[in-house]
Amino acid sequence: MPVKTYREAINEALHQAMADDASVIVLGEEVSGGAGCEGSRDAYGGVMGITKGLLPAFGEERVIDTPITESAIIGAAAGAAQTGLRPVAELMFMDFFGVCFDQIYNQAAKFHYMFGGKSQCPMVVRCTTGAGWSAGAQHSQNLTQMVTMVPGLKVVCPTNAYDAKGLMLQAIKDNDCVIFVEDKMLYDTSCEVPDEMYTIPFGEANFYREGSDLTIVAISNPMHKVLAVVDRLAEEGITCDVIDPRTTSPLDEEAILESVETTGKLLLVDEMTPRCGIAADISSIVAEKAFSSLRAPIRKVTAAHSPVPFAPNLEQAWMPGDADIEAAIRELVEYV
Amino acid sequence: MSTATKQRPEAKKKAPVLDRDQFLKAYRSMRTIRSFEDKISEEFMKGNIPGFLHLYSGQEAAGVGICELLNDDDYVVSTHRGHGHCIAKGGDVIGMMKEIMGKQGGICDGKGGSMHIADFDKGMLGANAIVGGGPPLIVGAALSAKTLGTTQVGVAFGGDGSSNQGTTFEAMNLAVVLKLPAIFFFENNGYGEGTHASYAVGSRDIAGRAAAFGMPAFKVDGTDIFAVTEVCKKAVQHCRDGKGPVTIEASVPRFKGHFEGDPQAYRGENEIETLMKEQDCLVIARKAAIKQKLATAAELDKIDEEVAELMGRATEAGLAAPVPEISELMDNVYSSEY
Ligand SMILES: Cc1ncc(C[n+]2csc(CCOP(=O)(O)OP(=O)(O)O)c2C)c(N)n1
Ligand SMILES: [Mg+2]
């Protein structure tokens, strides 16, 4: 099977979905790049290069470079979604949700319910998240929890190229507003990805590793830190269930609960601030529904409760790190 | 005031727009910005600067033109392309260098970086990594000035791209409604990232929009420090007189990529070379000043040397400074007991 990067996998999904369904459009800032300029169009193909090649393939009618105007981009996508198109809107950095959040959570998320099931909003909002580039306090935040808490939104956070393609194709087919969260640290990671179209259903967790000492649930880039640590500790005989929910809404509670029932111990890892994050959310679900299975306190490794600092050493300290993850695993394993 | 008025310098014979001392000060500030940007570009290439860098090179006369008319207690809010505004407002270059390198002694303790450069002692309320984040903030700063009964003025810098953001429109309207001493200063460098203003600004006339909000506007050649100064004097006075907000659109070239490392495939052939040859505000300022006998080439060269020496010192200080202590991570999340 061909090996593709996370970036290539999402790009391929967009190409295939647009070829497959004429109602799919892409819009956002620099999704092509070069609009109105003397030089070449498709100059960027998105600031992360994810939408590269779509403009030459599908034209300006379906690949729309917008001014810098997030409220109108997301609102236009929502309005178009209600009226026959399947827009994939790019928000560039997840931090920019702040500019257009009304169009997401008061508009797109609520149409179907508020209008008694008579309106649908089949749109995807793509955004880049995550720290690690010293991009500062307004270009590094993972705000997955903010969209996960909104009823009506579906939230996808792929951790590998295979999932990214299958989840993107599912997101475009889905009839609800889907927030597609791409971790910027993962774009260059690669794995085997089939050439043909395939979908991965929402709400189905992926078990990266299986084991018996404890259950680890991780979201986005921190998953790869977890895997590195877990594989190292496997040499000492420590084995873990490592679960990637793949979508935080819907959440595959069953997979997590079943695992905790056998291991009795749970570690949650994400790169969000600790209060009201995904780790905190899953922790409450497990405490409520699998209390009798727990043989140790639930542990969370998250980012610190501060804005993301700029200085690289502070940023590293802010993020959940390998050492924090290893310490938490050891603590849980030793807990009797 | 239905349309923006185009201002030409020295249309009529009168007192010079800048006297000798004022010109030399403005020139030094412009040169400081250019040298600062050149220096950090070099250090970025060497891997000594983390994160994103958006350089102000080519736009110096715009920021310096207005900031030279402001006092330390007047306010400016800036953009992601904020080093120039910070220096123009009198910001501490050594502290800025340390900040951009993510070091101790940085002007924001290494917490902010290039996109959040600020100097509160100089009324520079911060660069902003959210396009359109600044204009509403300057409305607030101008509201403070008005409410507290001072004659302070607030300037919101923005680009052609930011002129299309809803927050910008809302701020302009609110400033008119409340009749605030705010200046919306748009530096039109032709680009928002790799999208041209002729595409993204529907009316192709940023200053022209001001009329619809009910405020006066000026368009000015932002490569000409004299022209910028002349227009800004009127705008600042208008605000200090309590007559409400003003919009300025300065056309400027952007010599560098949107960010350092930008391949710039959207540029025309030889575009940058031509811009640098024909629209370099420092070259234009030197020529004009020598012609007007405001300064000699030797005097200007000397300023260039002094600035180069300062940049050398700032860079050394930045490189030598230690990184922040990890224990500082949680400092200043809140300003009082938590
Ligand atoms: C809300 C928001 N949207 C998009 C961006 C990404 N972005 C950063 S700078 C920029 C272009 C800004 O153009 P302009 O206002 O003309 O300023 P210039 O870069 O030319 O100084 C864009 C789109 C952002 N930082 N914030
Ligand atoms: Mg611009």
Q: Which residues contact B301 (CB under 8 A, 6 or more apart)?
A: none
CB contact under 8 A, A33 and B132: no
Interface test with B, best of A95, A103, A313, A316 (most B CBs within 10 A): A313
Helix, strand or coil for residue B77? Answer: strand
Q: Which residues sit with their C-beta closer than 6 Å to ligand 1?
A: A 29, 68, 70, 92, 96, 99; B 54, 79-81, 129-132, 158-162, 189, 191-193, 258
Domain count, chain B: 1
Predicted pLDDT at B15: 80
Q: Which residues in chain B (130-149) have CB-CB distances under 8 A to chain A?
A: 130-133
Nearest CA in chain B to A72: B166
Measured CA to CA in angstroms, residue A122 lies from A88, A130, A165, A170 at distances of 9, 26, 18, 11
| Continuous H helices in B68-196 | 83-88, 93-100, 134-147, 166-177
Predicted pLDDT at B7: 57
Predicted pLDDT at B2: 44
CB contact under 8 A, B195 and A33: yes
For residues B85 and B65, the answer to whether their CB atoms sit within 8 Å is no
Measured CA to CA in angstroms, residue B45 lies from A136, A139, B52, B260, B318 at distances of 19, 21, 12, 9, 15
Query: Which residue is it, tokens 């008694």?
Result: A116
Predicted pLDDT at B10: 52
CB contact under 8 A, A43 and B52: no
Contacts of A72 in chain B (CB under 8 A): 166
Predicted pLDDT at B130: 98
From B263, B252, B273, B131, select the one nearest B194 (Cα to Cα).
B263
d(CA B47, CA B38): 14
What is the distance in angstroms between the Cα of A203 and the nearest Cα belonging to chain B?
33
Whether B167 contacts chain A with CB within 8 A? yes
Nearest CA in chain B to A45: B194
Q: How far is the CA of B187 from the centre of ligand 2 (A)?
A: 7
CATH class as words, domain A3-192:
alpha beta
- pLDDT tens for each residue of A76-131: 999 999 999 999 999 999 999 999 999 999 999 999 999 999 999 999 999 999 99
- What is the average pLDDT across A145-171? 98
d(CA A232, CA A237): 10
CATH of the domain at B144: 3.40.50.970
Q: Which residues contact B12 (CB under 8 A, 6 or more apart)?
A: none
pTM for the model stands at 0.96
Q: How many CB atoms lie within 10 A of CB B205?
A: 16
Measured CA to CA in angstroms, residue B141 lies from A260, B133, B165, B179 at distances of 53, 13, 20, 13
CB contact under 8 A, A37 and B191: yes
Predicted pLDDT at B16: 87
d(CA B137, CA A303): 29
Provide the mean pLDDT of chain A.
98
Instruction: Tell whether the torsion through CA atoms of B129, B130, B132 and B138 is positive or negative.
Output: negative
Range of the domain at B240: 4-18+39-284
d(CA B73, CA B252): 27
Ligand (nearest to CA of B251):
2
Predicted pLDDT at B13: 62
d(CA A72, CA A94): 16
Cross-chain CB nearest to A39 (options B164, B165, B268):
B268
Predicted pLDDT at B1: 41
Whether B333 contacts chain A with CB within 8 A? yes
Torsion of CA B221, B224, B225, B231, to 10 degrees: -30
Helix, strand or coil for residue B295? Answer: coil
Interface predicted TM-score (ipTM) over 0.90:
yes
Q: Is residue B23 part of a domain?
A: no
Task: Specify the DSSP element, H or E, that contains A336.
Answer: none
CATH 3.30.450.90 fits A206-334, yes or no: no
Q: How far is the CA of B192 from the centre of ligand 1 (A)?
A: 6
Cα B110 from chain centroid?
A: 21
Substitution site in B83, B191, B193, B267 for ligand 1 pocket (most atoms within 8 Å of beta carbon): B193
Break chain A into its structural domains and give their ranges.
Answer: 3-192, 206-334
Query: What string of pLDDT tens digits covers the 338 residues of chain B?
Result: 444 555 555 555 678 899 999 999 999 999 999 999 999 999 999 999 999 999 999 999 999 999 999 999 999 999 999 999 999 999 999 999 999 999 999 999 999 999 999 999 999 999 999 999 999 999 999 999 999 999 999 999 999 999 999 999 999 999 999 999 999 999 999 999 999 999 999 999 999 999 999 999 999 999 999 999 999 999 999 999 999 999 999 999 999 999 999 999 999 999 999 999 999 999 999 999 999 999 999 999 999 999 999 999 999 999 999 999 999 999 999 999 99
User: What is the DSSP secondary-structure string of B131-147?
Assistant: TT-HHHHHHHHHHHHHH
Domain A206-334 in the same topology as domain A3-192: yes
- pLDDT tens for each residue of A59-82: 999 999 999 999 999 999 999 999
Q: Report the nearest-CA residue for atom 8 of ligand 1.
A: B131
For residues A97 and A147, the answer to whether their CB atoms sit within 8 Å is yes
pLDDT at A239 over 90: yes
CB pairs under 8 A between A and B: 170
d(CA A326, CA B194): 43
Measured CA to CA in angstroms, residue A195 lies from A7, A328, B55 at distances of 14, 39, 41
Cross-chain CB nearest to A139 (options B103, B129, B263):
B129
Contacts of A67 in chain B (CB under 8 A): 161, 164, 192, 195, 200-202
Q: Is residue B28 part of a domain?
A: no
- What is the average pLDDT across A14-41? 98
d(CA B296, CA B20): 11
Predicted pLDDT at B14: 72
Q: Which residues in chain B (233-292) have CB-CB distances under 8 A to chain A?
A: 263-269, 271
Task: Specify the DSSP element, H or E, that contains A92.
Answer: strand A86-93
